[in-house]
């Protein structure tokens, strides 16, 4: 042990934490820790059992008669001598041909050289462009040329560079122009886009959002493969941050601008229902491969929009009206009900306080649901708007199907809102009666005791 000489032994059995080794000369038993079996993890050591081999003594306790040995040190010492000889071959500035990508780490990429040496290319030596992780540029198993930039004979390490094999492209980045089309080569495909080479050493990210005008969340894997040469437009050059941004979709016409030219707002077009959710439809305009948005409130004038939405199925063809185009946001909003006559136009020639005839459709505790004669829309007369006299303001006075007069209490054509009131009609008729027959305090008797009774008479007459 003092002379650091190896001893001969053989592994006889496994035990907790390692193995038992028998010394061939004396038959003494020694302990071989699991970490000292080899310089790399071994799942199976059956090929090492009962084979005479060298071990290094690493601990010796004469009092207890315990000895601890290592097979790993023997292997490493041989490898160290071999590795030192290999490293002597390399000098700074040497070019290594066809080194194979072996693995990644957060700080760089490991390459295997001729099966005899592993070298590291640090993250900063991969590319002149910014690289966050080696897997953005390299694939396992790929072969690349390397330039030796450091040799450490003590640590037995060789450092290499990929980017130093070519001149710094950012020194002549002025040669590239913004918004101009360039051919780029796809070198790596990721979930979020593709890394492309403008020239050797100048790698830039083509983000998935810049792949297509119309397809959202599209994968670069579906569009390109490694080695493809594609057209791209440079959208940004930042020399300080050493960053170049590119776009593939800008090499094509913006379909939203083309759509706006051909179908401006208020145009009627045909589309196909391709998707729907709980409050809207998505209508595909096949000519431009664009999905337009159709809210349920724009489906119908008469029914509940959400109920109407249930009637539509995927693949159904419908004619819609273009309501809004936002080319910058890549959004188009369309409507279905706008292609049909608006039943609210019935009120266009009506005025506030005008008396109209309506038909009672249904009643409930909140009031009456009525439909004006000649109109296709239903409206609510609230319970509070049924009569001046609170005792007469009972919706159950009607069962449905009756006709009655009421007044327009409020009308807003722009907001498409109308408020109907029977109470207002009573007030108007009472005012007219007072003007005709004199004031209430004049002592003259009015021809009717209350307007509600008069209304009843009118209803009886109509019936």
Give tens-digit pLDDT for 287-323. Answer: 777 888 888 888 887 667 777 888 888 888 888 888 9
| Comparison of pLDDT for 428 and 301, the residue scoring more | 428
pLDDT, average across residues 436-456? 54
Residue 463 has pLDDT above 80, yes or no: no
Burial 146-173 (b: 16+ CB within 10 A, else e): bbbbebeeeeeebbbbbbbeeeebbeeb
pLDDT, average across residues 106-124? 86
Instruction: Report the alpha-carbon distance of residue 182 to residue 189 in Å, rounded.
Output: 19
What's the pLDDT at 11? 92
Looking at the chain, the whole-number percentage of residues with pLDDT higher than 70 is 92
What's the pLDDT at 460? 65
| Comparison of pLDDT for 172 and 70, the residue scoring more | 70
**What confidence tier does 406 reach under pLDDT thresholds 50, 70, 90?**
very high
Domains (ranges, CATH) in the chain? 7-78 (2.40.50.140), 89-165 (2.40.50.140), 169-251 (2.40.50.140), 255-339 (2.40.50.140), 344-458 (2.40.50.140)
Those residues with Cβ within 8 angstroms of residue 253's Cβ, 6 or more apart along the chain or in another chain: none
**What confidence tier does 446 reach under pLDDT thresholds 50, 70, 90?**
very low
Tens digits of per-residue pLDDT, 165-208? 888 778 778 888 888 888 988 888 888 888 888 887 788 888 88
Contact 54, 24 (CB under 8 A): no
Looking at the chain, the whole-number percentage of residues with pLDDT higher than 90 is 12
Residue 81 has pLDDT above 70, yes or no: no
Residue 439 has pLDDT above 60, yes or no: no
Instruction: Report the alpha-carbon distance of residue 289 to residue 440 in Å, rounded.
Output: 73
Predicted TM-score (pTM) of the model is 0.48
Instruction: Report the alpha-carbon distance of residue 127 to residue 366 in Å, rounded.
Output: 74
Residue 11, CB-side half-sphere exposure with 13 Å CA sphere: 23
**What confidence tier does 448 reach under pLDDT thresholds 50, 70, 90?**
very low
Instruction: Report the alpha-carbon distance of residue 430 to residue 440 in Å, rounded.
Output: 11
What's the pLDDT at 410? 92
Please state, in angstroms and as integers, the Cα–Cα distance from residue 124 to each residue in 155, 160, 161, 164, 179, following that order. 21, 11, 9, 11, 29
What's the pLDDT at 310? 83
CB atoms within 10 A of CB 105: 12
Instruction: Report the alpha-carbon distance of residue 293 to residue 278 in Å, rounded.
Output: 13
Tens digits of per-residue pLDDT, 262-288? 888 888 888 888 888 888 888 888 777
pLDDT, average across residues 427-439? 80
What's the pLDDT at 407? 93
> With the C-alpha atoms ordered 110, 112, 117, 121, is the resulting torsion angle positive or negative?
negative
């Amino acid at each position: 042990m003092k002379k650091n000489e190896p001893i001969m032994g053989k592994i006889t059995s496994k035990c907790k934490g390692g193995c038992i080794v028998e010394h061939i000369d004396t038959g003494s038993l020694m302990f071989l820790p699991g970490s000292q079996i080899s310089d790399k993890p071994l799942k199976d050591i059956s090929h090492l059992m009962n084979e005479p081999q060298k071990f290094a003594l690493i601990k010796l306790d004469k009092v207890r008669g315990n000895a601890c040995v290592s097979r790993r040190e023997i292997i490493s010492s041989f490898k160290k001598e071999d590795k030192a000889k290999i490293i002597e071959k390399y000098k700074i500035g040497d070019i290594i041909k066809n080194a194979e990508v072996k693995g990644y780490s957060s700080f760089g990429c490991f390459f295997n050289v001729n099966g005899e040496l592993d070298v590291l290319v640090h993250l900063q030596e991969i590319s002149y462009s910014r690289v966050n992780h080696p897997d953005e540029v390299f694939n396992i198993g790929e072969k690349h040329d390397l330039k030796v930039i450091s040799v450490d004979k003590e640590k037995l390490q060789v450092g290499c560079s990929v980017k130093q094999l070519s001149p710094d492209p950012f020194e002549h980045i002025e040669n590239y122009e913004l918004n101009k089309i360039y051919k780029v080569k796809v070198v790596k495909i990721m979930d979020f886009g593709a890394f492309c080479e403008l020239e050797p050493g100048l790698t830039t990210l083509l983000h998935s959002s810049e792949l297509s005008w119309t397809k959202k969340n599209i994968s670069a894997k579906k569009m390109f493969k490694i080695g493809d040469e594609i057209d791209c437009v440079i959208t940004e050059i930042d020399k300080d941050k050493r960053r170049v941004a590119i776009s593939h979709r800008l090499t094509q016409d913006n379909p939203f601008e083309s759509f706006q030219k051909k179908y401006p707002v208020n145009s009627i077009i045909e589309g196909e229902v391709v998707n729907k959710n709980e409050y809207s439809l998505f209508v595909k305009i096949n000519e431009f491969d664009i999905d337009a948005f159709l809210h349920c409130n724009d489906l119908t004038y008469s029914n509940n929009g959400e109920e109407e939405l249930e009637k539509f199925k995927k693949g159904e063809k419908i004619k819609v009206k273009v309501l809004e185009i936002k080319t910058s946001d890549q959004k188009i909003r369309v409507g279905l009900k706008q292609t049909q006559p608006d039943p609210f136009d019935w009120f266009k020639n009506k005025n506030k306080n005008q008396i109209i005839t309506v038909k009672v459709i249904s009643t409930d505790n909140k009031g009456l649901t009525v439909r004006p004669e000649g109109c296709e829309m239903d409206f609510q007369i609230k319970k509070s708007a049924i009569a001046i006299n609170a005792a007469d303001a009972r919706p159950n006075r009607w069962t449905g199907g009756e006709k009655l007069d009421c007044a327009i209490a409020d009308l807003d054509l722009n907001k498409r809102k109308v408020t109907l009131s029977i109470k207002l009609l009573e007030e108007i008729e009472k005012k007219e009666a007072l003007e005709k027959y004199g004031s209430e305090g004049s002592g003259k008797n009015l021809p009717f005791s209350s307007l509600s009774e008069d209304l009843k008479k009118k209803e009886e007459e109509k019936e």
